[in-house]
Structure 1
Amino acid sequence: MHHIAPEMKACIDQCLDCYSTCLSTAMGHCLEMGGPHTEKAHFTLMMACAEICRTSAHFMLIGTPHHKHTCAECAEICAECASDCERIGDMDACVDICRRCADSCRKMAA
């Protein structure tokens, strides 16, 4: 395995945590709650957030310099997801990890 710098390792961990949190929240909490939780725009955003987080983590793990592009997009989508989850409410864990992941990915994209 190639050497992964501590700040990149932290970002990978944040991305994987955000991936699992968004996916499990969408598939569990949101589907159970219905209403605004399952509106197409919100639900699609949560799925996009989960997927870009997984992709960004993957790109960092395989060591491609293209991770800067996926991390930039990940930061943008995570920030949008955090705002939307906050708007709908009752998704504090999602809001928190999305914000932390966005911050971490911004640093990796720089």
Structure 2
Amino acid sequence: MHQMSPEMQSCIDECLRCHSTCLSMAMNHCLEAGGQHVEPEHFRLMIACAEICQTSANFMLIGTDLHKRTCAICAEVCEECARSCEQVGDMQECVDACRRCAESCRKMAA
């Protein structure tokens, strides 16, 4: 098994937390709130964010150096998702999770 740094373990945790937050907020909060929360661009972005977060975590868990690429994309998607959630409003939990994940992924991508 590959040796995992504390920074990588922390990034995996942030990615999994963000995956869970985006997915559950999209499927529960957004679907119930309606309106801007379910506009296709916003809703797709939340699902895309959940997916890339899970993929990035998986790449780090597998132990491939390709995680640097997935983490770079993950940071971008998380930032975009955070901005979208901030704009829609009433989604601070998602904004915070996305920003933490983006910061952690940027470090892993470097």
Range class of TM-score, shorter chain: over 0.9
1:41 pairs with 2:41: yes
Partner of 1:96: 96
Partner of 1:50: 50
SS at match of 1:60: helix
CA distance in 2, matches of 1:28, 1:21: 10
The C-alpha deviation readout for 1:29-86, integer Å capped at 9, x for no partner, is 0000001000000000000000000000000000000000000000000000000000
CA distance in 1, matches of 2:97, 2:87: 15
Q: Percent identity?
A: 70
Give the superposition deviation at 1:3.
1.8
List runs of 5+ in structure 2 lacking aligned partners: none
Note the 1:1-110 alignment, pairs <5 A: 1-110=1-110
Give the superposition deviation at 1:2.
2.5
Aligned length: 110
What is the TM-score when the length of structure 2 is the normalising length? 0.99
SS at match of 2:71: helix
Give the superposition deviation at 1:11.
0.2
What is the TM-score when the length of structure 1 is the normalising length? 0.99
